[in-house]
Amino acid sequence: MRRLALSVFTACGLALLSACSGGTGIGSGSSTKITAVVFTNGSAAVNAFFVAPGGTAPVAVDAVGTDNGTLVYGQTFTWTARFVNPKTDPPSIATYTTGVAPSTFKTCAAPPATQPAVPLLEPGAVTASAGGYVGYSLLTSGFPVSGVYVGAVPGVTAPYCLVLTAVHAVDGTVGTVTVVVSANP
């Protein structure tokens, strides 16, 4: 298990490894306190997610809490999403990397003039307002879950970026991650 935690952090260059020494590196969901939020694609931590406009499947975004470098699974978060504005958002949100080393840094495109609500999805019966993704429905606002699905926003022309914010349901620790919607990120 420790090897898994180290490979997750090593793959992303997160400076949390030193906190893992002396412990297992993975905690259980019984902890009610976390110190940071890491976003994963199911196997490794990532700092940006990519989804194609007009695609048939949204991208899954999972959050995992950490407590001083130890992964704490089983935590839940409330989620919100909005468009990224590269003129006002910090570079940690408004830029992303593509490719393998050496990676290319890119800046998010300006958001559309009219910014509709960004639908956050969960598996379930399709609803008309779920962006047409078959097998998904809108996530109930304020309902804490460990992960969400996000796709292209209906009626908005790509490319653009979204920022997802996950707030830990117990102690309020906040994490953000960028979702890039583009045919060619």
> Containing H/E element for 79?
strand 77-83
Handedness of CA 152, 50, 145, 125 (dihedral sign): positive
Q: What local confidence, expressed as pLDDT, does residue 154 receive?
A: 87
Each residue's pLDDT tens digit in the chain (185 positions)?
233 332 333 333 333 322 332 333 444 444 468 999 999 987 778 888 999 998 888 999 999 999 988 989 889 999 999 999 999 999 999 999 887 777 788 999 999 999 999 989 998 876 655 667 888 888 988 899 999 999 999 889 999 999 999 999 999 999 999 999 999 87
Residue in the block written with tokens 């260059």: 13
Q: What local confidence, expressed as pLDDT, does residue 130 receive?
A: 64
Q: What is the number of other CB atoms lying within 10 angstroms of the CB of residue 116?
A: 11
> What gap in Å lies between CA 5 and CA 2, rounded to an integer?
5
Q: What local confidence, expressed as pLDDT, does residue 65 receive?
A: 93
User: Who's near 88: CB < 8 A, 6+ residues apart?
Assistant: none
Q: What local confidence, expressed as pLDDT, does residue 97 receive?
A: 87
Handedness of CA 94, 7, 36, 32 (dihedral sign): positive
User: Who's near 162: CB < 8 A, 6+ residues apart?
Assistant: 81, 82, 83, 84, 118, 150, 153, 178, 179, 181
Residue in the block written with tokens 């045919």: 183
